[in-house]
Amino acid sequence: MRRKKRNIYMLLAPVVLAAAFFFAGPAAGAGAEKGDDLPGFVAGNYSVIGKRPGSGETYSGTATITCSGNKLKIIRCIGGTRHTGEGSIVPVTGDRIPNVIYHWFDGVHKYEGRYDIHADIDNYARLSGPYVRTAADQAGWGWELLYVDSDNTRECR
């Protein structure tokens, strides 16, 4: 009789362990699936390359993204001029894919950008996407690519 009880426990142990992993798995990764860690992932120093709306003129510069909760602060330094903007990570499309949406003012025009969040081969954030002037004279759209630059000194260059 004692031997049968031991065999039952030996058979049930793997089932209980499998059930524990099955039910604990979704709870352990819930934050990552919802994107709770994305503000920290996109925070950093970036090099920027882009194309201005309407003109097709290309440019380069730097950007620094910091996060406070779910809000992003973006400092852009393009052509020696510094602009500060605010943004957030929002889900877009029916699949609720997270994107960075942000707004900034360059002293003349107001802009809004929407950037896809990617990871490069070293698992650093890479952001890319279109942006437009928010005024009635929109003048088309521009495009930017932001890639992590560990040598970025946070100063406008």
Structural contact between residues 149 and 134, judged by C-beta atoms closer than 8 angstroms: no
The pLDDT, as a whole number, for residue 14 is 52
- Assess whether pLDDT exceeds 90 at residue 145: yes
- Over residues 90-102, mean pLDDT: 87
pTM of the predicted model as reported, rounded to 2 decimal places: 0.71
Measured CA to CA in angstroms, residue 133 lies from 11, 96, 119 at distances of: 66, 25, 27
- Looking at the structure, tell me whether residues 30 and 50 fall in a common domain: no
Measured CA to CA in angstroms, residue 100 lies from 20, 57, 90, 131, 135 at distances of: 36, 24, 6, 11, 20
The pLDDT, as a whole number, for residue 66 is 93
- Over residues 58-67, mean pLDDT: 93
Q: For residue range 127-137, what is the model confidence (pLDDT) as tens digits? A: 999 998 887 66
The pLDDT, as a whole number, for residue 23 is 40
3-class DSSP string for 69-111: CCEEEEEEEECCEEEEEEEEEEEECCCCEEEEEEEEECCCCEE
Task: Decide if 156 is inside a domain.
Answer: no
How many residues are there in the chain? 157
- Looking at the structure, tell me whether residues 18 and 65 fall in a common domain: no
The pLDDT, as a whole number, for residue 26 is 38
Torsion of CA 7, 9, 11, 16, to 10 degrees: 180
Structural domain harbouring 12: 2-34
Question: Which of 7-11, 13-17, 37-41, 86-90 is predicted with the least confidence, judged by mean pLDDT?
Answer: 13-17
- Assess whether pLDDT exceeds 50 at residue 49: yes
The pLDDT, as a whole number, for residue 32 is 41
The neighbouring-strand residues paired with 73 are 66, 86
- Looking at the structure, tell me whether residues 29 and 44 fall in a common domain: no
- Looking at the structure, tell me whether residues 137 and 125 fall in a common domain: yes
In CATH, what number is assigned to the domain containing residue 52? 2.40.128.120
Q: For residue range 25-44, what is the model confidence (pLDDT) as tens digits? A: 333 333 444 556 888 889 99
- Looking at the structure, tell me whether residues 68 and 115 fall in a common domain: yes
- Looking at the structure, tell me whether residues 60 and 120 fall in a common domain: yes
